Amino acid sequence: MKNKPRISRLTSIITQLQSKKIVTATYLAEKFNVSVRTIYRDIRTLESSGVPIFTEEGKGYSLMEGYYLPPVMFSEEEAQALITAANLIQKNKDQSLVDSYVSAITKLKAVFKNNQKEKTELLSERIAFRYNPENNTTSANLIKLQSAITDFKLLEIEYNSLENKYTKRTIEPFALYSTNENWLLIAFCRLRKDFRVFRIDMIVGVKDMYEKFEPHEMTLQQYFEICRAKFSSTPDKPLT
**CB-count burial class (<10 Å; 0-12, 13-18, 19+) for 53:** middle
Inside any domain, residue 236: no
pLDDT of residue 15: 84
Are 155 and 104 within one domain? no
pLDDT of residue 237: 45
Inside any domain, residue 206: yes
Are 31 and 90 within one domain? no
Inside any domain, residue 135: no
Are 162 and 223 within one domain? yes
Beta bridge partners of 170: 156
pLDDT of residue 72: 63
Inside any domain, residue 31: yes
Are 170 and 89 within one domain? no
pLDDT of residue 177: 93
In CATH, what number is assigned to the domain containing residue 187?
A: 2.30.30
How many distinct structural domains can be found in the chain? 3
Inside any domain, residue 69: no
Inside any domain, residue 134: no
Are 111 and 158 within one domain? no
Are 58 and 83 within one domain? no
Strands 53-56 and 60-63: antiparallel
pLDDT, tens digit only, all 240 positions of the chain? 555 567 778 888 988 888 888 999 999 999 999 999 999 999 999 998 888 999 988 899 998 887 766 656 778 888 889 889 998 898 999 999 999 998 888 888 877 878 888 888 898 888 888 888 778 889 999 999 999 999 999 999 999 998 999 999 999 999 999 987 789 999 999 999 999 999 999 999 999 999 999 999 999 999 999 999 887 754 444 444
In what side-by-side order are the strands of the sheet with 194-199?
194-199, 182-189, 166-179, 153-160, 203-212
Determine the structural domain holding residue 171 and report its residue range. Answer: 142-231
Are 12 and 85 within one domain? no
Q: Specify whether the CB–CB gap between 78 and 120 falls below 8 A.
A: no
pLDDT of residue 153: 96
Beta bridge partners of 167: 159
Inside any domain, residue 150: yes
pLDDT of residue 235: 45
In CATH, what number is assigned to the domain containing residue 40?
A: 1.10.10.10
Are 217 and 151 within one domain? yes
Are 84 and 14 within one domain? no
Inside any domain, residue 68: no
Are 41 and 118 within one domain? no
Are 147 and 191 within one domain? yes
- This prediction has a pTM of 0.70
Q: Specify whether the CB–CB gap between 200 and 184 falls below 8 A.
A: yes
Question: Which residues 6+ apart lie within 8 Å of 190 measured at CB?
Answer: 169, 170, 171, 172
